[in-house]
Amino acid sequence: MSDTASVDPRPNALSAWPDAKGRFGDFGGRYVAETLMPLILDLEQAYEDAKRDVNFRAQMDEFLRDYVGKPSALYYAERLTEHFGGAKIWFKRDELNHTGSHKVNNCLGQVLLAKRMGKTRIIAETGAGQHGVATATVAARFGLPCTVFMGATDVARQAPNVFRMKLLGAEVVPVSSGTGTLKDAMNEALRDWVTNVTDTFYVIGTVAGPHPYPAMVRDFQSIIGREAREQFLEREGRLPDAAVACIGGGSNAMGLFHPFIEDESVRLIGVEAAGHGIETGEHAASLKGGKPGILHGNKTYLLQDDDGQIIDAHSISAGLDYPGIGPEHAFLHDAKRAEYVSATDKEALEMFQLCTQLEGIIPALEPAHALARVRDLAGELGKDGLILMNMCGRGDKDVPQVAEMLGVEL
């Protein structure tokens, strides 16, 4: 444990965290093995330098525009608005990005940073395979060999994504320790990183891990909120009453929220996956149903048993079943700046169909969770209200699973 007491002054503004030790209040930090410390200090320095480098930023902007397809549209979901009969609903359409979700925003940033640092090998963890595919995509574009760690259980469940990664030239390493799921894949990636210090860059897929990852991933994803804030002002002449996003590890939500943190009139609402229902214990709601603890190098809310052992998360949506949540969300939760609610598998499945039928947009099952709470909020805010929701991924990947759940044979 290398995270010792700090002399840093506490930032005043909520948006100014983390402090120099990577802490968001009580959360975050870098609880890592001594051997990992030099790597993350090196990464932190490289990221700080890159952030200030106009050439790095110009390179990011060019690839975000020409490769990812930024800016993504802000779209008035008119028929859903009419259907719910309350506040006006706008979607930030990050599902239109190359590879179909927000994940590429972050992968692009980290891979460009890896290039800048002279690293020649990329590693990543993945659960359902979405982050693995996005990382393999960007690694292919920059000609870097890429190894993706994936729980053995997930490898068996997610064959199409495993094949996709292989097509993109990545090596997929099944991890059979633990329950063979995302948290085990992440442990294995951290282990690989320590043993391949000189040439390897670890691309983490959400706002988790030791500092500087939670802040760095948030910064790369903040393009979502920056674009949406500007587009919203242009279209509505004012800010939304609420910004809503689903939460797995919390990167698309943090990216949406961050540029609005100092706008006190904007409610920030994160929607966790309630699975079969929080009361059943089969869910992925780390804030609603977890306790503070330490995992993957940071302190945050985690799903754990009485011995502090991590419990596997459950959700219909493979992208939401991380047993933790980014430390900045834990901080915003305890500071009462953001609200955290949840939606069940059943609600997500309903919203998946409703959005498809009314808007002609097939949402990923992840943002379908957010839409369930947008529905309630629309009624609560009434006709004068304005809601901004991040449509963080498209649902093509979920079609076979939805067919199965609806009892349709393909």
Ligand X SMILES: *Cc1c(COP(=O)(O)O)cnc(C)c1O
Which x/- pattern, by CB under 6 A, does the window 111-130 give for ligand X? -------------------x
Q: Does 251 bind ligand X (CB under 6 A)?
A: yes
Minimum distance from CB of 8 to ligand X (Å)?
Answer: 27
Stretch that binds ligand X, among 29-37, 165-173, 251-259, 294-302 (CB under 6 A): 251-259
Helix (H) or strand (E) run with residue 249 in it: none
Q: Where does this chain touch ligand X (CB under 6 A) — which range of 159-167, 190-198, 242-250, 372-380?
A: 242-250
Name the residue nearer to ligand X (CB basis): 153 or 221: 221
Question: Which of 247, 295, 372, 378 forms a contact with ligand X (CB under 6 A)?
Answer: 247
Burial state string for 61-93 with b = 16 or more CB within 10 A and e = fewer than 16:
eebbeebbebbbebbebeebbebbebbbbbbbb
Report residue 236 as tokens: 């509505």
Stretch that binds ligand X, among 6-14, 58-66, 145-153, 249-257 (CB under 6 A): 249-257
Among 246, 269, 287, 371, binds ligand X (CB under 6 A): 246
Closer Cβ to ligand X, 204 or 381, answer by number: 204
Number of Cβ within a 10 Å radius of residue 247 = 31
How would you list the strands of the sheet with 146-151, edge to edge? 171-175, 146-151, 121-126, 200-203
Among 181-189, 244-252, 297-305, 333-341, the segment contacting ligand X (CB under 6 A): 244-252
Please give the structure tokens belonging to residue 113.
């940073």
CB 66 within 8 A of CB 119: no
Task: Tell the residue number behind the tokens 């060019």, with chain if given.
Answer: 62
Binding mask 306-335 for ligand X (x = CB under 6 A): -------------xx---------------
Kindly give the residue spans of alpha helices, DSSP state H, lying in 360-408. 365-381, 399-405
- Scan residues 81-110 and list those touching ligand X (CB under 6 A): 101, 103
Q: For residue 241, what is the DSSP state?
A: S
Residue 392 engages ligand X in binding (rule: CB under 6 A):
yes
Judged by CB under 6 A, the number of residues near ligand X is 18
> What does the CA dihedral 45, 142, 171, 100 come to, rounded to 10 degrees?
90
Which residue in 60, 88, 393, 402 binds ligand X (CB under 6 A)? 393
Q: Collapsing DSSP states into helix, strand and coil, what is residue 166?
A: helix
Label residue 286 exposed, middle or buried (CB < 10 Å: 0-12, 13-18, 19+): buried
- Can you give the binding site for ligand X, defined by CB under 6 A? 101, 103, 130, 206, 246-253, 319-320, 364, 366, 392-393
